[in-house]
A and B are shown apart, each in its own frame.
Chain A
Amino acid sequence: KQEVTQIPAALSVPEGENLVLNCSFTDSAIYNLQWFRQDPGKGLTSLLLIQSSQREQTSGRLNASLDKSSGRSTLYIAASQPGDSATYLCAVRRSSGGGADGLTFGKGTHLIIQP
């Protein structure tokens, strides 16, 4: 059974710092990994998707890496801003031939950026 763990569970840093969120998964047979952002009481916003054959993806100030063999992914946020405050969730999709697989999520990292 796939298990996804996110460390740290919570993080509070001053504005402008660069930071790293960690995600680990127990079964390396994944199809892809996706990072999401969730604001309080809201749905999920997709940030980055990394296919199993890829090593990293970048979007603006965000960079996500994937090391499938070791079961790890990191989300790097550069020059953090108060608007980055949210819960960040990591999710993996199991490898499948035809596509029928739900995502397995971690519990998230609750991030607060202090002005």
Chain B
Amino acid sequence: DAGVTQSPTHLIKTRGQQVTLRCSPKSGHDTVSWYQQALGQGPQFIFQYYEEEERQRGNFPDRFSGHQFPNYSSELNVNALLLGDSALYLCASRRNGLAGEDNEQFFGPGTRLTVL
């Protein structure tokens, strides 16, 4: 059973460009969240998708947008890249539920984005 997968593993962009990151959730999971982790910091919540809709959003500008597909996979798009967007972008998945193991979040290996 494959866990959460992300692509690409590394990416280098220049300021002002746009980038798309991809995530496939763990089998059986339907809820996908994205996090940004700057060097030496804990991950910061960007947004969460469930049933192809953005269900919750953290404190990130509109330059950050996303999408969830019918197969539960997800994309994170960042427009007008800034130097400060350089970070490890993590995708997490879980099964939507109210109790027990359904709540455990599983994380992918991340995509390292460098903005020059």
A89's contact among B42, B45, B98, B103, by CB below 8 Å, is which?
B42
One digit per residue, 1 when the CB lies within 8 angstroms of any chain A CB and 0 when it does not, for chain B 19-56 equals 00000000000010101000011111111101000011
B76 within 8 A of A: no
- Which A positions have Cβ atoms within 8 angstroms of B? 4, 31-32, 34, 36, 41-46, 49, 51, 89, 91, 93, 99-108
B42's contact among A32, A51, A102, A106, by CB below 8 Å, is which?
A106
CA A34 to CA B43, docked complex, whole Å? 13
**Interface residues contributed by chain B, number (CB under 8 Å):** 36
The answer on a CB contact under 8 Å between A46 and B42 is no
B55's contact among A49, A93, A100, by CB below 8 Å, is which?
A100
- Which B positions have Cβ atoms within 8 angstroms of A? 4, 6, 31, 33, 35, 40-48, 50, 55-56, 58, 88, 90, 92, 96-101, 103-110, 112
The answer on a CB contact under 8 Å between B48 and A44 is no
A residues less than 8 Å from B110 (CB atoms): 42-43
The answer on a CB contact under 8 Å between B56 and A36 is no
Which residue of B has the minimal Cβ distance to A45? B107
